[in-house]
């Protein structure tokens, strides 16, 4: 089982949106997925409550229970676990990072958001885990802004995922009814971006074909 932690010290970065979209993308491609929601706001767990399907599995828990929850998920046959974390909690972020094979750091390409990833970068380095910033909620057709964001991220010693997630209504609207962009608008640009992000994620996890337990 592979484990991906979604970290950001700043609220509103899109952690839950990325976590849920990747979880459903994995499930739609035949993988068994467990989402661990450690944010007290329980956004991912609330999404699951409104979802008609019982999968992917979403569990709300304290960060101290991550190790046990991952063990349970693996025993249940999950091939991928995604940890959705809370902002402003360095201790919880460290627990999640240490439990993960890979860390993703969602970040809007604005200067205030980019400056705020410094604390997350330090956590990732202390945990000694591979990590990538995912530029999220970016204005479509803004190559100069994206290039500037990549340069800013580099100052924190982090790499940037090659797939940029744009600001699109198709990411927000489906979440209110327990869906994701791929389910809500399968042929849309949001669905294409998530499909590309998940395909890239598989390559980074060094997985060919189905994830293995």
Closest CA to 60 of 80, 44, 79, 77: 44
Q: Is 213 a member of any domain?
A: no
What's the pTM value of the predicted model, to 2 decimals?
Answer: 0.94
Q: Is 93 a member of any domain?
A: yes
**What's the number of domains the chain is made of?**
1
pLDDT at 88: 81
Show the domain range for 76.
2-204
Q: Which residues of the chain have pLDDT under 50?
A: 208, 213
For residue 139, give the 3-state DSSP assignment: coil
pLDDT at 207: 58
pLDDT at 213: 45
pLDDT at 208: 44
Q: With both helix axes pointing from N to C terminus, report the angle between 90-99 and 118-127 in degrees, rounded to the nearest 10.
A: 40
Q: Which CATH number fits the domain that encloses residue 196?
A: 3.40.50.300
Q: Is 212 a member of any domain?
A: no
pLDDT at 10: 85
Q: Is 183 a member of any domain?
A: yes
């Amino acid at each position: 089982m592979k484990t991906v932690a979604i970290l950001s010290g700043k609220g509103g970065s899109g952690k839950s949106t990325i976590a849920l979209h990747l979880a459903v993308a994995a499930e739609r491609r035949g993988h068994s997925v467990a989402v661990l929601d450690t944010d007290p706001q329980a956004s991912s767990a609330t999404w699951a409550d409104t979802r008609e399907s019982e999968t992917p599995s979403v569990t709300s828990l304290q960060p101290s229970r991550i190790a046990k929850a991952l063990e349970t998920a693996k025993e249940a046959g999950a091939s991928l676990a995604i940890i959705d974390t809370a902002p402003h909690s360095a201790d919880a972020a460290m627990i999640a990072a240490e439990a993960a094979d890979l860390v993703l750091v969602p970040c809007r390409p604005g200067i205030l958001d980019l400056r705020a990833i410094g604390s997350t970068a330090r956590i990732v380095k202390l945990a000694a885990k591979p990590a990538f910033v995912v530029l999220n909620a970016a204005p479509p057709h803004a190559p100069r802004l994206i290039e500037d964001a990549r340069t800013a991220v580099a100052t924190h010693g982090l790499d940037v995922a090659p797939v940029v997630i744009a600001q699109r209504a198709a990411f927000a609207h489906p979440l209110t009814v327990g869906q994701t962009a791929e389910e809500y608008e399968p042929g849309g640009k949001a669905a294409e971006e998530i499909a590309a992000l998940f395909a890239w994620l598989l390559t980074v996890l060094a997985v060919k074909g189905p994830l293995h337990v």
